[in-house]
Copies of this chain bind each other. A is one copy, B any other.
Amino acid sequence: MNFSLTTLGVSSASPTTDRYPSAHILNICGRLFLIDCGEGCQMLMKRHGISLMRLERIFLSHLHGDHVFGIFGLLSTLSMSGRTEPLHIYAPEGFDRILQFFREHFLERDTYPVEYHQLTATEPEMLLDDALLTVSALPLRHRVPSYGFLFREKEPGLNVRKSAVAEYSLSVEEILALKSGRDAVRADGTVLRAEALTYVPYRPRSFAYVGDTAVFDGLSDMVKGVDLLYHEATFGDDCADKAAQMFHCTARDAAETALRAGAGRLVIGHFSSRYKDTGVLLRQAREVFPDTEAGMEGAVFEVPEKTHKDE
């Protein structure tokens, strides 16, 4: 099952000729989550074959324009396309007024409900907890309230080993018992032990998005052990002072957080337009955390399924 991040917009503040403002799609088993919605997001989604209509939830890290200006066009297009499914949007305080402004001035047809979930947490907080996954908000430190997001697949149910099904000619009732973790006892007294005959089919995967933020203690703990970490890397070593002053990070800061967190892989983005070639940022990050990639339009970063052997 798919678990991948597609970076669409990887520019900070002002776009460049080949980098759009922030927009990222997380695909977990076909469920599509949009993280930040910079100008041009809907065009980027179409260009890279990502269905707008299948968008389930939108997470806006903070209300700076380069993370938000694409929302108007996207919401309009969904109306014009006749969406009826509710759309959940998670965003900090103030988004209700933005939504109200949009509705008053621009919405001609209101075909679907927008459910706005206001982000207020000052500590990591669960936003969503369903059969497949959990999503948590991670409070960051920026010039305005800013949140990261942590997506975790849930532990899957047990599978019964195929070899056991054959060897013991398991009945449906016995399989159901074993899958639920209970031992099955036969009429002849044989005990079929769940622990021996079942396995966890895959290890749950995780992704964390760390958008605009200054470096701060405790950040790496919030994203401890994630398989894939997206981290803003607005500046390089040459602008470390500017990064701190603007409540942003350098590529090296991002890599140090990935290292401390023990992340599996790091993707950096949100590059300042001063870096025509982001190679310098990638090199600086890799000096600290070698398994780093630079986000670019349309790049897909997969977290492979970690299947357990069934024998």
A interface residues, Cβ below 8 angstroms from B: 13-17, 20-21, 39-40, 42-43, 46-47, 63-66, 68-70, 72-73, 76-77, 80-81, 94, 97-98, 101, 105-106, 108
* Listed residue (A43, A70, A101) with the most chain B CB atoms within 10 angstroms of its CB: A43
B16 touches A46 (CB 8 A): yes
Residues from chain B with a CB closer than 8 A to the CB of A64 are: 106, 108
A14 touches B101 (CB 8 A): no
B39 touches A72 (CB 8 A): yes
Which of B65, B97, B98, B101 touches A73 (beta carbons < 8 Å)? B65
Which of B14, B40, B47 touches A39 (beta carbons < 8 Å)? B40
A106 touches B65 (CB 8 A): yes
CB distance from A40 to the nearest CB of B (A): 4
CB distance from A264 to the nearest CB of B (A): 33
Residues from chain B with a CB closer than 8 A to the CB of A81 are: 14
A13 touches B80 (CB 8 A): yes
CB distance from A47 to the nearest CB of B (A): 5
Task: State whether A14 and B77 are in contact (beta carbons under 8 Å apart), knowing that A43-B40, A72-B39, A72-B69 are contacts in the complex.
Answer: yes
Residues from chain B with a CB closer than 8 A to the CB of A13 are: 76-77, 80
Residues from chain B with a CB closer than 8 A to the CB of A42 are: 14-15, 39
B15 touches A70 (CB 8 A): no
Please list 24 pairs of residues, one from A and one from B, whose beta carbons are closer than 8 Å in the complex, sorted by A's number. Answer: A13-B76, A14-B76, A14-B77, A15-B43, A15-B73, A16-B46, A17-B43, A17-B46, A20-B43, A39-B39, A39-B42, A39-B43, A39-B72, A39-B73, A63-B106, A64-B106, A65-B72, A65-B73, A66-B73, A66-B76, A68-B106, A69-B69, A98-B105, A101-B101
In angstroms, Cα B101 to Cα A98, docked, is: 8
* Listed residue (A39, A72, A77, A106) with the most chain B CB atoms within 10 angstroms of its CB: A39
B14 touches A80 (CB 8 A): yes
Which of B15, B63, B76, B97 touches A65 (beta carbons < 8 Å)? B76
